[in-house]
Structure 1
């Protein structure tokens, strides 16, 4: 269950010949993402379990399982900003219930990220996915 935005990233990754080009593309995605205002980079938005500083600010409209899920994110590491952009493409616009059904590891596996990220980065991605799922679950239960 991938969004159109994520499918576009997957198609671009299929087109790129090697991991170096894909890595540069992830960096470009991060550079294109707007930065979070420092005022919202607080403990409540910080994602624990990441080697880099990571913040995810939910932007969820509506109540319950049908609430529309979105978020903004930022990191002090440009590659991580790119990973946040990929997660945004994967989840933004889904309902809270749909977010909980996404098999993020399988979808990200399509990009080959699981094979090319360091264990620290992989742990950070899992922490970000966990935070996103927690936010969606909180809203879905409301």
Structure 2
């Protein structure tokens, strides 16, 4: 399981004295634990990936805010955190692979208009979680359904 891998890496970082990496891993475990406590469940790998994906998205937003405010030092910290978190996410998909999955999801759901976007996104979300920026995927689906 992904969660146990993160916990093992925390122990390794503690033994190695890698404080920056240890801090990020602790943030990840805290976010996972928070969701488990809030929802009174134990997260599976898909749900854990969703938490990590959300953390990456938050950090990307922070980077843009810090960069616009001229705080490159803080933006660099966020970039480091993204790098550590992405070690636990699956490899990103290419644009062609994403387009193929979108086409398959549109035909599988029978979507014909933008109003059917929710059906398509429900099919795509488990396949793309952590492997693509879901905001960008959403825009591509909207564009595809608008052209259909």
TM-score, structure 1 normalization: 0.33
Which structure has more relative contact order (CA 8 Å, sep 6+)? It is 1
Q: What TM-score results when the alignment is normalised by the length of structure 2? A: 0.32
Query: Per residue, is there more helix in 1 or in 2?
Result: 2
Larger fraction in strand: 1
